[in-house]
Amino acid sequence: MLYLTLRQYEYVATVAQAGSLAAAAAQLNVSQPSLSVALSRVEARLGLKLFHRGKGMPVRLTPVGESYMKAVEGFLATARRLEDPQHLGRSGGQVVLGVFDDLAPFHLCPLLAALRHDLPDIEIRHRTGNFETLAREMLEGRIDLAVSYDLGLDGSFLRRPLLQVRPHAFLSANDPLASGEDVTLEALSSRPLILSEEGLSVRHMLGLFRRIGARPELRHRVASLELMRSLAANGAGVGISYGAPRTAMSYDGREVVARPLRDAFAREPVVLVEPTTAEETGLRCRVRGSIAGYFAAA
């Protein structure tokens, strides 16, 4: 006998995604007290504490709640497919695509559009994460394929090259180097740097400078590309990243100039990653071909 309703599972998922009872209640069109009572009943029925809840604090999943949410998300996805007549005749299957955090803003949406156009019979889901997260979730079977840079991957993974990208230096508009078409690592070696806080990324960037015998000052480590661009626009250092937005303005309204690095050895491949243990199927081949086609045209 089922004791929890589909609606209660939906409550749990919405609160986890929204991060607050107020936001979740608004999405679900129920009162906040009613939602709070419903969550308490679910936790009482399970005998598990799914959420950390405190007055004036964000609602956060407990470790056991995070594990439970993965099962709830899968259950709700199945329920939605069962209610959608368009899915009942589909036999293509489902694929979970991972995309590295820094690549996702540039490629995730157009890549999903291309996959859904090429493979209308396949349900494409996506997850984003850092190098460590993508690798772990592929090995655990939660991600089927991932688009990433070829960093931090061992012999447990197959890599197929998709394209080569050059890093860009982010400079303030009045920086003397901003007037050139490109820059070199040597020209930047005496400048304070702004790099990602992602461990593999920062080690890779500093490794490029070591190849020319330079050890520049690392002044800032940042969690986002936009913060890097803002600091560079305000003259706090030179940012370096493989992602270069097309806009010339930072979030705080300052002009920021992006110049590609001329050094050929600084180019980095974007790769399609799969576990070596993954079963070769027609479904996987079709998805792989569609992804390769998207990047070939990009």
**Alpha-carbon torsion 193, 235, 227, 182, what sign?**
negative
As a whole number of angstroms, the distance between CA 167 and CA 181 comes to 14
pLDDT tens, residue by residue, 134-147: 999 999 888 999 99
Query: What is the reported pLDDT for 74?
Result: 75
For residue 143, the SS3 value is coil
Query: What is the reported pLDDT for 92?
Result: 61
Highest mean predicted confidence (pLDDT) among 35-49, 129-143, 157-171 = 157-171
Which among 192, 169, 165, 184 has a CA at the least distance from the CA of 258?
169
Report, as an integer, the average pLDDT of 50-71.
Answer: 84
Query: What is the reported pLDDT for 212?
Result: 96
**Residues belonging to the chain:** 298
The CA-to-CA distance between both ends of the chain, in Å, stands at 52
Residue 175 has pLDDT above 80, yes or no: yes
Instruction: Provide the H-helix boundaries in 47-184.
Output: 63-83, 85-88, 104-118, 131-139
Give the model's confidence band at 21: pLDDT under 50 very low, under 70 low, under 90 confident, else very high: confident
Give the model's confidence band at 84: pLDDT under 50 very low, under 70 low, under 90 confident, else very high: low
Report, as an integer, the average pLDDT of 272-280.
Answer: 91
pLDDT tens, residue by residue, 212-243: 999 999 999 999 999 999 999 999 999 999 99
Residue 2 has pLDDT above 80, yes or no: no
Residue 88 has pLDDT above 90, yes or no: no
Contact of 127 with 109, CB cutoff 8 Å? no
Report, as an integer, the average pLDDT of 259-277.
Answer: 95
Element (H, E) at 94: strand 94-100
Query: What is the reported pLDDT for 202?
Result: 92
As a whole number of angstroms, the distance between CA 284 and CA 64 comes to 31
Query: What is the reported pLDDT for 7?
Result: 87
pLDDT tens, residue by residue, 107-136: 999 999 999 999 998 889 999 999 989 999
Residue 90 has pLDDT above 50, yes or no: no
pTM listed for this prediction: 0.67
Neighbours of 143 (CB within 10 A): 25
Calculate what percentage of the chain has a pLDDT beyond 70: 95
The counts of H helices and E strands in the chain are 11, 12
Calculate what percentage of the chain has a pLDDT beyond 90: 57
Query: What is the reported pLDDT for 1?
Result: 55
Q: Give Cα separations from 168 to 18, 126, 213, 239, 257 (angstroms).
A: 35, 27, 20, 8, 10
